[in-house]
Amino acid sequence: ANSYVGFDTITQQIEHKLLKRGFQFNVIVAGQTGLGKSTLINTIFASHLIDSKGRLEPDEPVRQTTEIHPVSHVIVENGVRLRLNIVDTPGYGDQVNNENCWDPIVKYIKDQHSAYLRKELTAQRDRHIQDTRIHCCLFFINPTGHSLRPIDIIVMKKLSEVVNVVPVIAKADSLTLEEREAFKTRIREELIYNNIRLYPFDTEENDEEEVQLNETIRSMIPFAVVGSERTVIIDGKQVRGRKNRWGVVNVEDERHCEFVHLRNFLTRSHLQDLIETTAQIHYEAFRSKQLLALKE
């Protein structure tokens, strides 16, 4: 018998362990009703189901999101299995009075920190803790082409205190490419003007490579995305897309929108950094505050 334990076997064992443990990446979406949050979540998952199973599930009608709820699937990226959890939220800021409309989302994020801290304080050494902490918040911006709404600026500020906020321009198919570029520049300027410090954060310890990584992210943000629950046929292939009177938008075509960039950002290039930043900056801030309060 062959007793040699090859690299493949070891990788599989690690993978199996990670999977069994529930190696987890948690994302939340936030923004006004009707900007395509639920649709984008489905688009992200569907694009992975295509990769892994070679087929698409039938179209579902879009439903109104009435509560905060997570949607979870195991996906495979770079040969590593990952439990991707995306938390859908109802729209906010649609009311005449938008006071504290961000509270439910901020509370949800803090509740996950609190649950983790409780487990951390009671867990035996070496026991793995189920991680529901939110690693990234996709913030949906209305594609007006003009400027951010005052409420968006307030909410982004509130959210950025507890989570890595990554803004996206929703329904980017409603802007021309020129309008899109101008809007992206405008949003970046407004973020700076309003002193909103979003992910990524610069620290003094950052080495050359990390500084470079941060610059790359800043040049991409906000991602101009398009989502779709439907499939269209392009060149004989089924793809996620939107058909209108002028033509077809292929969600996965980089010339049409930045969906693929966003997906790569989340599930490949910045996955680890988002997880680490959450633990080291956001969770740590929460934890030290709680522990200090306990002492008093």
Count Cα neighbours of 277 within 13 Å in the Cβ-side half-sphere: 25
Please select the residue that binds ligand GDP; options are 10, 62, 74, 233, rule is CB under 6 A.
62
**Smaller CB separation from ligand GDP, 35 or 221:** 35
Which residue has the CB atom at the shortest distance from ligand GDP?
A: 36
- Distance of alpha carbon 78 from alpha carbon 269, whole angstroms: 11
- Distance of alpha carbon 113 from alpha carbon 286, whole angstroms: 7
The two three-digit tokens of residue 91, written as one number = 């729209």
Q: Is the bond preceding 104 in cis, omega lying within 30 degrees of 0?
A: no
Site for ligand GDP contains 91 (CB under 6 A): yes
Do strands 80-88 and 24-30 pair parallel, antiparallel, or not at all (unpaired)?
parallel
Please select the residue that binds ligand GDP; options are 28, 36, 180, 200, rule is CB under 6 A.
36
Piece of the chain touching Mg ion by CB under 5 A; list 2-10, 38-46, 154-162, 221-229: 38-46
Site for ligand GDP contains 167 (CB under 6 A): no
- The type of residue at 56 is L
Least distance from ligand GDP to the Cβ atom of residue 155, Å: 14
Is 112 exposed, middle or buried (CB count within 10 Å of its CB: 0-12, 13-18, 19+)? buried
Long-range contacts of 231-240 (CB under 8 A, 24+ apart): 231/56, 231/59, 238/56, 240/43, 240/46, 240/47, 240/56
- Distance of alpha carbon 250 from alpha carbon 176, whole angstroms: 15
Piece of the chain touching Mg ion by CB under 5 A; list 62-70, 130-138, 158-166, 208-216: 62-70
Site for ligand GDP contains 231 (CB under 6 A): no
Site for Mg ion contains 38 (CB under 5 A): yes
Least distance from Mg ion to the Cβ atom of residue 37, Å: 5
Piece of the chain touching ligand GDP by CB under 6 A; list 92-100, 169-177, 213-221, 281-289: 169-177
- Distance of alpha carbon 89 from alpha carbon 159, whole angstroms: 14
- b/e map 206-229, b = 16+ CB within 10 Å: eeeeeeebbeebeebbbbbbbbbb
CB-based contact 48:73 (threshold 8 Å): yes
Least distance from ligand GDP to the Cβ atom of residue 79, Å: 30
**Smaller CB separation from ligand GDP, 226 or 262:** 226
DSSP bridge partners of 237: 234
Site for ligand GDP contains 35 (CB under 6 A): yes
Scan residues 240-259 and list those touching ligand GDP (CB under 6 A): 242
Please select the residue that binds ligand GDP; options are 227, 266, 274, 286, rule is CB under 6 A.
227
**Smaller CB separation from Mg ion, 65 or 264:** 65
Please select the residue that binds ligand GDP; options are 26, 27, 38, 138, rule is CB under 6 A.
38
What backbone phi and psi angles, to 5 degrees, belong to 241? -160, 175
Please select the residue that binds ligand GDP; options are 48, 171, 184, 256, rule is CB under 6 A.
171
Site for Mg ion contains 24 (CB under 5 A): no
Please select the residue that binds ligand GDP; options are 148, 198, 226, 274, rule is CB under 6 A.
226
Q: Which residues bind Mg ion (CB under 5 A)?
A: 37-38, 65
Q: Which residues bind ligand GDP (CB under 6 A)?
A: 33-39, 62, 65, 91, 171, 173-174, 226-227, 242
